[in-house]
Amino acid sequence: MKDSPEDQIVNAILDAIAEQRLPAGTKLGEQALSDLFSCNRANVRRALASLAAQQVVELRPNRGAFVMTPSPKEARDIFQARRAIERTIARHASGQASADDIAFLRDNILEEAEARKAGDKPAELRASRQFHMRIAQIAGNLVLERFLSELTMRSTLILGLYSPTGSSSCAEDEHDRIVDALEAGDTENLVQLADEHLRHLEAGLNFDEPPAAPMSLQEQLMVPRRTPPAK
Amino acid sequence: MKDSPEDQIVNAILDAIAEQRLPAGTKLGEQALSDLFSCNRANVRRALASLAAQQVVELRPNRGAFVMTPSPKEARDIFQARRAIERTIARHASGQASADDIAFLRDNILEEAEARKAGDKPAELRASRQFHMRIAQIAGNLVLERFLSELTMRSTLILGLYSPTGSSSCAEDEHDRIVDALEAGDTENLVQLADEHLRHLEAGLNFDEPPAAPMSLQEQLMVPRRTPPAK
DNA sequence: TTGTCATTTATTGTTAACAATATTTGATAA
DNA sequence: TTATCAAATATTGTTAACAATAAATGACAA
């Protein structure tokens, strides 16, 4: 039941991006990756092609693969698309959540709050992402779920680039109220909350100062946890 | 400025699917493709990985690549997602169309009608798809445009599988009224029309009899392409 | 005929060597 | 020092051979 080398690479990179261990602009060298995952370069190349199709990696001919660096215009498009998709998801999820779903989400909120308190950014981002993705699962549309998965990934890159450290994540009381509305089946309110939640996140962005990006492949790709910025 | 072998292959296959020259289930052999595009198999494999990431090709380990065969459930998800996205696109496009845009769309409607009359299915599908994609361009959100591009592709596969030959495409008078609303900037009406348009398309599907699919790589892949560039 | 199974053939998957292209390094001169 | 440029190094891109797996073939027996 182990999956192909390509899938391993793709998933490891997606996870790393989702937890901001791999910042935008990081070079993804073929040699480095084939060493890390002990496979051949052909597998790495296929994985990178796949990631490029998902818009989380940029392929520059003869120069290699890099974690995508979203422009301000792309950031706008991505958040606009996210609102459209998450509103739809909210509509379809409303009233469909099982007791397990609600319990998971309530627990998730605590988890995220703890991670935030502990200053564990990757854990916080992971929890926050899980919150949004779980609601997408409740909605039961795999296409929208996949789209949202891609957009949350790219959102994380955007936050890493344009967020004045601190505003970089969801407000937990908003998550709380979202679960309340979801549980109550108050559809219109839920949709409205989801929309506002994303507007707040976007409002926290600052495009004034151009982003400075670290550029080397951080070996945190293999690390299960932890991110001391050091330096 | 010619693009890489991968891009060529990807675009040729996408075009072929969009025009129903490549039906669902068609096997995409590596040898056959590398012969057709006179490149090596490594390029073919990368292209197929990319197409798989876009969900238009299915990769079965040790068995090869096949044009994706959407299930009824996937069909439902895809049309639901399309409605959400095209409604949003309609909202953003409303009142933003230039004179050129309107002229293009009016002309496109005639083109589609002619193709239908002439029984030229690929031309009809191409025109219909261009109609939807042009409006997406007017809306100005590249993310939504890309999502819609993927969904129209998959919709074409669905129509090829589950459409009782005939209902398999858009009603032209609906396109007409959509352009009217777009030109008038009548946002709410436009959104409503777009939604109904897609519901009608979906309502024409029949999932009762399981689809029979031809399975060989049709050499229609090489048919000359006339896809005029955007704007 | 029809079904089974071993053999052959074709296809996908892996690997390593090589070529083409960037990038880095270090010497030289202003 | 600083700038320039050629050589050295590293990385990406291509190719062909080989291995592993699946599909097709055909002989044989009921």
Residue-wise pLDDT tens digits, A71-109: 999 999 999 999 999 999 999 999 999 999 999 999 999
Q: How far is A55 from chain B (nearest CA, A)?
A: 10
Backbone angles phi, psi at B58, to 5 degrees: -110, 130
B199 Cβ partners below 8 Å, 6+ apart? B83
Which helix (H) or strand (E) segment holds residue A65: the answer is strand A64-67
How many whole angstroms separate alpha carbon B217 and alpha carbon B12?
A: 13
* Residue spans of chain A under pLDDT 70: 1-2, 166-168, 210-231
Q: Give the nucleotide at minimum CA-to-C1' distance from B59.
A: C12
Domain range B72-203, CATH architecture: Up-down Bundle (1.20)
CB within 8 Å: A141 and B85: no
- pLDDT band at residue B166 using 50, 70 and 90 as cut-offs: low
CB-nearest to A42 from B42, B85, B144 is B42
Q: Which of B59, B67, B34, B142 is nearest to A4 (CA)?
A: B59
pLDDT at A226: 32
The pLDDT score that the predictor gives to residue B220 is 47
pLDDT over 80 (residue B214) = no
Considering only CB atoms, B46 lies closest to which of A46, A81, A141, namely A46
Distance CA A166 to C1' C19 in A: 49
Residues of B with CB under 8 A from a CB of A: 4, 6, 42, 45-47, 49-55, 61, 74, 77-78, 80-81, 84-85, 87-88, 92, 141-144, 146-147, 151
* pLDDT band, residue B226 (cuts 50/70/90): very low
Average pLDDT over residues B195-204: 94
- In sequence order, what are the beta bridge partners of A28? A65
Distance CA A148, CA A167 (A): 21
Residues of chain A contacting residue B75, judged by C-beta atoms under 8 Å apart: none
Which run of H or E residues covers position B58?
strand B57-60
Which bases of chain D are contacted by protein, using any atom under 7 A from a CB? 11-16, 21-23
CB B167, CB B204: distance < 8 Å: yes
| CB A204 within 7 Å, strand D | no
Angle, vertex CA B82, rays to CA A92 and CA B137, nearest 5? 135
β-bridge pairing A64-67 and A57-60: antiparallel
Interface test with B, best of A11, A147, A148, A155 (most B CBs within 10 A): A147
- ipTM surpasses cut 0.85: yes
pLDDT reported for residue B181 = 96
φ and ψ at residue A117, rounded to 5 degrees:
-60, -40
Dihedral in degrees, nearest 10, Cα atoms B89, B90, B93, B95: -160
Contacts of residue B78, Cβ cutoff 8 Å, sequence gap at least 6: A143, B70, B151, B154, B155, B158
Phi, psi (deg, nearest 5) at residue A147 = -60, -45
Supply the pLDDT for residue B58.
97
Chain A to chain B Cβ contacts (< 8 Å): 77
Tell me what pLDDT residue B216 has: 57
Domain boundaries of chain A, sorted by first residue: 5-69+213-221, 72-203
pLDDT of residue B171: 74
Q: Which residue of B has its CA nearest to A142?
A: B77
Name the closest nucleotide to B6, judged by C1' and CA: D13
* pLDDT value for A225: 30
Nearest residue: Cα versus C1' of D10: A31
In chain B, residues with a C-beta closer than 8 Å to the C-beta of A52 are: 50
What is the tens place of the pLDDT at every residue in B1-58? 568 889 999 999 999 999 999 999 999 999 999 999 999 999 999 999 999 999 999 9
Residues 6 or more apart whose Cβ sits within 8 Å of residue A60? A66
- The CATH number of domain A5-69+213-221 is 1.10.490.10: no
Token duo for residue B181: 């609303």
Tens-place pLDDT, residues B182-197: 999 999 999 999 999 9
For domain B5-69+213-222, the question of CATH label 3.90.960.10 is answered with no
Q: What is the mean pLDDT of residues B201-222?
A: 68
Q: How far apart are CA B105 and CA B100, in angstroms?
A: 9
Residues in chain A within 8 Å Cβ distance of B4: 61
What CA–CA distance (Å, rounded) separates B6 from B43? 6
CA atoms within 13 Å, Cβ hemisphere of B4: 14
- pLDDT for res A37: 95
Q: Tell me, what's the pLDDT at A163? A: 87
β-strand B27-28 against B57-60: which pairing, if any? unpaired
Q: What is the pLDDT of residue A171?
A: 74
Q: What is the pLDDT of residues B140-165, one digit of tens each?
A: 999 999 999 999 999 999 999 998 77
Q: Which residue has the tokens 């998971």?
A: A104
B144: closest CA among B96, B93, B192? B93
